[in-house]
Amino acid sequence: MKIINGGICAPKGFLASATEANIKYKNRTDMAMIFSKVPAISAGVYTTNLVKAGPVLWDRKITDSEVDVNAIVINSGIANACTKDEGMEYCKQSAKKAASELGAEENSILLASTGVIGMQLPIDKICAGIESLSNSLEQSEKAANEAAKAIMTTDTVSKEIAIEFEISGKTVKMGAMCKGSGMIHPNMCTMLGFITTDVNISKELLLKALRDDVVDTFNMVSVDGDTSTNDSLIILANGLADNEKIVNESSEEYKVFKSNLNFVTTALSKMIAGDGEGATALFEVVVEGAKTKETARTLAKSVVTSSLTKAAIFGHDANWGRILCALGYSGEKFDPDNMELYFESENGKILIYKDGVSVGFDEEKASKILSAKEVRALVKLNMGDFAATAWGCDLTFDYVKINADYRS
């Protein structure tokens, strides 16, 4: 496997575009389109929030069916959530407009929206944007870059990746982009994410791979503890790599595909966590030596979601008691008298706690370690063979500033 350029346009047959529709933001692009030259199979995982946005309801019907997908239309600025019948009608009109422009069927168009909840979409601007997007599709690195920028809200950087690998002697490519900075919390899937691949695979295994993967990637990300109404992760596979179709779950080809999918989703998860609203550092929590995988996941997420711990990371303060506290209220059983806690980063590694007490560490060294852009807390439980990793960020003054005035 190797990382390549091209983002969502890297796989064969995928084009992208971006446009400035003036939905909410001024002087920037705010709509994007992903298009496959041939119909693609799709799979999706969506928010577990009981309040679901119109595009989530629209997309689930399509990705859960056997209908192939031609395109995805994305807008930023307005979420089209809590908009009831009018919002669903705008989904239908958006899909109809895209289908007309692309010569496709209405039910082959997926939709995604992100932004302020409760506002109706300016459908005239959306339809004008779709026309512009349809007429400017390209298969290029620039088109992929611009699409990734267009879907941003409070993100400070665009988030994309592309890789290539071999399956059955054929070169397969996978590209992806996502957005997410605030309202990010584990529960599938914490953001908008779009993956394209030219692999030839059954729809059943595509969905299984995606569902299995998010448990240890996107579901392990938290910025602020809020699960969005619009969370969607969608993958399209158009088969143009021309590999022998992957239909066997136990095959080596399926394992290779899953491994590479995990590389992409892990990379995107870390990008989202590191770009949390107002964040100055990526905070990674690794739990090792747990009795079960679920125990490791729960403990890691408990620490990464602790506001007190996140604030300490911002202050470069090795306040290890907050981590022990978060582990203790997680609901999982472990022995605090038989565990170890370390802090580590590019600035070094230090043992903080062992066998029930602080080890009397060097505070200055610990603070230097915690001052890096990427910081890790390593918890060794010494109880079993299972491990899990969660990603988050520090909690800063700017997080409050951004969210105190989000609708302006």
d(Cα 310, Cα 151) in Å, to the nearest integer? 27
| List of residues 6+ apart from 5 with CB closer than 8 A | 141, 162
Does residue 244 sit in helix, strand or coil?
Answer: coil
Angle between helices 320-328 and 293-304 (to 10 degrees): 130
Three-state SS string over 1-41 comes to CEECCCHHHCCCCEEEEEECCCCCCCCCCCEEEEEEEEEEE
d(Cα 75, Cα 356) in Å, to the nearest integer? 51
d(Cα 266, Cα 262) in Å, to the nearest integer? 6
H helices present in 167-251, as ranges: 203-214
Angle between helices 84-102 and 123-134 (to 10 degrees): 20
d(Cα 134, Cα 322) in Å, to the nearest integer? 51
User: Among candidates 242, 240, 194, 185, which has minimal Cα distance to 218?
Assistant: 185
In DSSP notation, 91-109 reads: HHHHHHHHHHHHT--GGGE
d(Cα 217, Cα 270) in Å, to the nearest integer? 9
The position carrying tokens 């890790």 is 376
The answer to whether 334 and 327 have CB atoms below 8 angstroms apart is yes
d(Cα 73, Cα 315) in Å, to the nearest integer? 41
d(Cα 326, Cα 303) in Å, to the nearest integer? 5
The answer to whether 38 and 12 have CB atoms below 8 angstroms apart is no
Task: Count other Cβ atoms within 10 Å, centred on residue 158.
Answer: 20
H helices present in 242-338, as ranges: 252-274, 293-304, 307-314, 320-328
Backbone angles phi, psi at 130, to 5 degrees: -60, -40
Catalytic: 266? Answer: no
Choice among 190, 196, 295, 396 that is catalytic:
190
Q: Which residues are catalytic?
A: 190
